[in-house]
């Protein structure tokens, strides 16, 4: 008895989708197949379903890949963190910055397709949930800020959009605090710089504008892409100087040196490093 009303509903819906595909033809921005469903996100369901989280052997601090030698050491840390630990307590990313995930991030940042923040936010929420298990108190979510000139030209801070989209997916709503952390000076590209030069490049690039809000709190930094973690570590350093107890970092994607960080791509923001946009 219930099948008839459903059929009555589906018939006009299918007709509407067919008319829409004729009047407003579009293709998936990742695989170029035709989109027939009405959606604000110009990406097909198949491409979204192919994006999975990666949990290969990773450094327990920065989330970098662990080489065989590091695995044999038994402490779970990469060589960089063993030589000089970052200022954040742990960083974790949902997936690798490649293929469909990189394409989604580029749609958001460079083509300003802001509805893409919703699926990216769901991925980020997955990572935030894993990190929040390490906290004994409610986390305060702080997006990594853009320099005012970059924000003005882009029109938004993608990290803020992702933070709010992720929090909306969580059963226990966390507080997102925009403006607590400021990027007080712009920095040059990190590409080609040594680890020490990268650290100096972002030194004192950030400041805490609302120290009273972060004092005594556990902080969860949020950004779209992490490469070496230099920017996130510097943010954590100034937050701890302002009184934050512990600082974790969650990003949607992790770009590994040598894989994604190879040449110029206009405007890549995370750590002011520049990456090649994949052909997707």
The answer to whether residue 278 sits within a structural domain is: no
Are 67 and 172 in the same domain?
yes
Are 125 and 182 in the same domain?
yes
User: What is residue 160's predicted lDDT score, i.e. its pLDDT?
Assistant: 96
List residues bridging with 34 in a β-sheet: 27
C-alpha to C-alpha distance for 258 and 150, rounded to whole angstroms? 26
CB 223 within 8 A of CB 217: no
pLDDT exceeds 70 at position 2: no
Read off the pLDDT band of 227 (50, 70, 90): confident
HSE at residue 72, side-chain half, CA atoms within 13 A, is: 3
Q: Degrees (nearest 5) of the Cα angle 223, 228, 230? A: 75
pLDDT exceeds 70 at position 72: no
Are 175 and 241 in the same domain?
yes
Are 104 and 224 in the same domain?
yes
Q: Any idea what the CATH number is for the domain that residue 66 is in?
A: 3.40.50
Domain that holds residue 114: 59-272
The model's pTM: 0.79
Q: Which residues contact 96 (CB under 8 A, 6 or more apart)?
A: 54, 253, 254, 255, 256, 259
The answer to whether residue 279 sits within a structural domain is: no
Domain count, the chain: 2
């Amino acid at each position: 008895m219930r099948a008839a009303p459903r059929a009555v509903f589906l018939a006009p819906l299918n007709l509407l989708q067919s008319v829409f595909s004729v009047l407003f033809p579009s293709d998936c921005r990742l695989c170029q197949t035709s989109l027939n469903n009405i959606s604000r996100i110009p990406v097909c369901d198949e491409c979204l379903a192919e994006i999975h989280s990666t949990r290969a052997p990773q450094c327990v601090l920065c989330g970098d890949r662990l080489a065989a030698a590091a695995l044999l050491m038994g402490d779970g840390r990469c060589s960089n963190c063993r030589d000089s630990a970052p200022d954040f307590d742990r960083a974790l990313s949902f997936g690798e910055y490649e293929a469909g995930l990189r394409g989604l991030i580029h749609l958001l940042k460079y083509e300003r397709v802001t509805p893409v923040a919703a699926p990216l936010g769901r991925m980020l929420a997955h990572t935030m949930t894993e990190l929040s298990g390490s906290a004994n108190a409610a986390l305060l979510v702080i997006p990594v800020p853009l320099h005012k000139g970059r924000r003005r030209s882009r029109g938004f801070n993608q990290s803020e959009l992702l933070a709010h989209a992720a929090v909306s997916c969580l059963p226990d709503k966390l507080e997102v605090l925009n403006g607590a952390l400021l990027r007080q000076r712009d920095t040059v590209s990190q590409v080609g710089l040594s680890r020490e030069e990268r650290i100096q490049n972002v030194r004192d690039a950030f400041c805490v504008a609302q120290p009273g809000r972060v004092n005594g709190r556990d902080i969860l930094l949020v950004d779209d892409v992490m490469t070496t973690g230099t920017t996130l570590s510097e943010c954590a350093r100034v937050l701890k100087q302002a009184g934050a107890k512990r600082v974790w970092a969650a990003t949607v994607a992790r770009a590994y040196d040598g894989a994604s960080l190879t040449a110029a791509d206009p405007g890549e923001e995370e750590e002011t490093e520049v990456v090649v946009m994949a052909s997707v």
